[in-house]
Structure 1
Amino acid sequence: MAEEICLFIKDGLIIKAPKKSPVLLRTIVLVFVMVCGVYICSVCLKQTNFSTKTKFLNIEVLESYCHEYDIDRSETPYLHYPKPKTFRRAECSCNPVRLFAILSMQRSGSGWFETLLNSHVNASSNGEIFSVKGRRENASSITKTLDRVYNLDWFTSASKNQCSAAVGFKWMLNQGLPEHHKEIVQYFNDRGVSVIFLFRKNLLRRMVSVIANSYDRYAKLLNGTHKSHVHSIEEAETLSRYKPVINLTSLMTDLKQMEVTVMKTLEQFQSTRHIILFYEDLVKNRTKLVDVQEFLKLPLMELISRQVKIHKGPLSEHIENWDDVNKTLQGTVYERFLHADY
C-alpha cells in the first residue's frame, strides 16, 4: 500500500513527517463519533424534558385560565365555572357563576320575589325543584339534583344558560329541608352556595293566603283553572272574593308553629353565607332588591314583576269570621298581625 509522506520546510531543512498507523486513525474517528453521539443524545433528552414541562405548564395555564386574580380572595369559594354536559357555554365559559338557594315557606312572596330575580339578565332561579318527592327521597337524590342545577344542566323557562352569573332555585321548608338539613348545610358550605332566606312577618296574612290558595286548588275560581299567582287586577279581585274561616281553636298554636319553624331553620343554616329578607320589607322598600343583587354580586338592574297582589287592604276584608279572630288575638303577642297592611 502506498504511503503518504508530508514534507515541511523549516530553516532550510527538509523534515519528513512520521508515518501514521491506520489503526490509530480509525480509533480516533471512532472516539469522535462516540463523543458526537453522546452529545446529540443529551441535547435530544433536554429538548424532550423541556417539551414535557411545556405541556404540563400549558395544562396548568388552561386550568387556571378562567380565574380572576384581581378579586377579593374571600370571594373565591363562591365563584364557579360550570362545565355543563348538555351544552357549551362558549364565550361565557370564563364568566364566574354564583350559586344560591331561596329558602322560604309557601305564600310568603317567594313566587313574586323569584320573578323579580329572574327579570335580571344574568340570574336564573328555577322554581320549586324539590316539590317532586322523588328528588328529595334521601340525601343522595338531593345531592344529585343540586349537582344538575348548579352545573347549569337543569332547564326551565328561567334558565339563562351560557351567560348566567347567578343560578339557583327556591326551596320550601316542607320539602325535605328539616329531614336532611345537616347534609344540605354541608353541601352548601362545600360548594359555596349562598342562602337567601325569605319570610313573611305577618303570619296571619300568610295563613289567609294559604287557606285561600288551597280552596282555589279545588274550586278553580278562574274559569276552571287553579292559579297560585295572577297577572291582572281582575284575576286578583276574583280570587280575593273568597273569605276563609279561620280555625280559632288552633289559631294561636298554628301561628306559634310557624314562628318555631322559621327560627329553627335560621339556626340550622346559620353557618352558611346568607341574607335574611322579609316580604313586607321588599314591598315597602324596593332598595332591598339592591341588597339582593349586591349579595349575589350581580350588575345592578331595575327588577320588575308582572304579578299582582291578591289580598290587598285590611285583613278584616279577607276573613269571614274576622270579629272572632280579632277578639282571639287581642292582648296577645300576635295582636300586631291584625293591623299590618301587608
Structure 2
Amino acid sequence: MAEAICVFTKGSIIIKPSKKSPNLLRMIVLVFAMVCGVYICSVCLNQTKFGTSSKLLNVQINQRHCHDHEVDQSQTPHVHYPKPETFSRAECACNPVRYFAILSMQRSGSGWFETLLNSHTNVSSNGEIFAVKERRNNVTSIMTTLDRVYNLDWFTSASKNQCSAAVGFKWMLNQGLMENHKEIVEYFNSRGVSVIFLFRRNLLRRMVSVLANSFDQYAKLLNGTHKSHVHSVEEADTLSRYKPVINLSSLVTELKQMEKTVLEALEYFSSTRHIILYYEDLVKNRTKLVDVQDFLRLPQMELTSRQVKIHKGPLSEHIKNWDDINKALRGTMYEKFLHYNDY
C-alpha cells in the first residue's frame, strides 16, 4: 500500500507510515507460542523417557542382583523371589524361595511329616489349606489360593514368611486335587512347584487309623476333645484303646480303591518335579529326611516332632475282629499287610 503524504505547511512535508494489520501481529505471536510449546514438550518427553529408562535399568539391576546367588542352572525354574503384598521381605528380598506341595491321603503320616518340615528354620508348610471347601469350589478359587500361598501372603502358625527358603502346604487327594489335576499340573509346572508324595505302604493300618479317628470325632475320648494328633504317651494310649470293627464285605474293595487312587495320583503328576516317600520308610530310616532336605535344596538340619504315634505294635492288637480279617486276607495280594513289619 502506498504511503500517505500529508502537507501541513507550505514547504514542509511529513511522511506517515501506515498502520500494520492486527491480524498479522496475532499470527506472529501464535507461531512463536507454538514453536515454544513444541520445544518445551520435546524437552519434557526426553526427560520422561530418561526417567523411565532409569527405572527399568534399576529394576534390571535389582533382578540381576537377586539372581547373582550361586544357583544350579537346572534349578532356575524352581527358584523364586516372591514380592508379597502384605509385608516386605526387607533384607531377605533376594533370598531364593522354593515352592512345594505335599500330596497325600488322610491318616498317612502327613501331619507328623509336616511338623518335621516345620522344625526347619527356613521352611513354612501351611497345613491342610484345602480342607476348607470354599477354597476348592472351582479352579479359579484353587488358583487364587495357590497364588496367595506361594506369594508368601498366607499366614499360619508355621509361617516364617520373611526369610522362608521353602514354602508349601499339604494337599489331600480327595480335596479337589484329582478332579482338577490337569489345571493343577499345568500350574505346578509353570510356577516351578515341587511335589512331595507321601503314602503308606500298609493300607490296612491306614484303614484302622481312619476308622479310629472317625470314631473319636464323635466320642471325643480325650476329656471331651477330639484330637487327630497327640503329644503325650498318655493321650496316645487312651485313643489306641478303641478297636474298630472292619467291614469284611467291603474290605478288599476298599483296599483296591486306595491302591488305585495312589496309582492315579502318581500318573497324573508324573510330569512334575517330584519325590515319592512312604511313611514306614521315614519312621524306620531317618536318612530319608536328608533326602527331602536335599530335594528342597535346604541347608541340612536335625528335624524333630513332638507328635506321638497312636497305634503301636502288631495290628492284631488294634482290630476287634482280627481273626475274621486274618482269614479274609489269607491267600490274597493283601496278605502281606497282616504281618508287615512296620516298625
Are the structure 2 counterparts of residues 328 and 80 from structure 1 closer, same or farther at C-alpha, using a change threshold of 3 Å?
same
Matched residue, 1:261 = 261
Matched residue, 1:148 = 148
Q: 2:106 corresponds to which letter in structure 1?
A: Q
Aligned-partner Cα distance in 1 for 2:184–2:58: 37
Matched residue, 1:284 = 284
Are the structure 2 counterparts of residues 158 and 238 from structure 1 closer, same or farther at C-alpha, using a change threshold of 3 Å?
same
Aligned-partner Cα distance in 1 for 2:76–2:170: 24
Q: Does 1:295 align with 2:305?
A: no
Aligned-partner Cα distance in 2 for 1:52–1:101: 39
State the TM-score, normalizing by the size of structure 2.
Answer: 0.84
8 Å CA contact 1:120–1:301 kept in 2: the answer is yes
Q: Which deviates the most, 49-58 or 239-248? A: 49-58
Matched residue, 2:77 = 77
Matched residue, 1:251 = 251
Task: Within 5 Å, give how 1:17-28 maps onto structure 2.
Answer: none
Which segments of 5 or more consecutive residues in structure 2 lack a partner in the other structure?
1-42
Q: 1:231 corresponds to which letter in structure 2?
A: H
Shift of 1:340: 1.7
Aligned-partner Cα distance in 2 for 1:168–1:236: 28
State the TM-score, normalizing by the size of structure 1.
Answer: 0.84
Matched residue, 2:173 = 173
Task: Please tell me the root mean square deviation across aligned C-alpha atoms, in Å.
Answer: 1.7
Aligned-partner Cα distance in 2 for 1:75–1:89: 22
Aligned-partner Cα distance in 2 for 1:55–1:91: 21
Matched residue, 2:233 = 233
Matched residue, 2:105 = 105
Aligned-partner Cα distance in 1 for 2:52–2:281: 60
Give the SS at the match of 2:170. strand
Task: Within 5 Å, give how 1:317-336 maps onto structure 2.
Answer: 317-336=317-336
8 Å CA contact 1:313–1:341 kept in 2: the answer is no
Aligned-partner Cα distance in 2 for 1:152–1:192: 15
Are the structure 2 counterparts of residues 51 and 200 from structure 1 closer, same or farther at C-alpha, using a change threshold of 3 Å?
closer
Aligned-partner Cα distance in 2 for 1:246–1:230: 24
8 Å CA contact 1:125–1:169 kept in 2: the answer is yes
Aligned-partner Cα distance in 1 for 2:148–2:301: 27
Identity across matched positions, percent: 77
Aligned-partner Cα distance in 2 for 1:257–1:237: 30
Which segments of 5 or more consecutive residues in structure 1 lack a partner in the other structure?
1-43
Task: Within 5 Å, give how 1:132-143 maps onto structure 2.
Answer: 132-143=132-143
Aligned-partner Cα distance in 2 for 1:55–1:317: 69
Aligned-partner Cα distance in 2 for 1:239–1:278: 24
Q: 2:276 corresponds to which letter in structure 1?
A: I
Q: Does 1:63 align with 2:70?
A: no
Paired residues, what number? Answer: 298
Shift of 1:53: 5.4
Matched residue, 2:29 = none
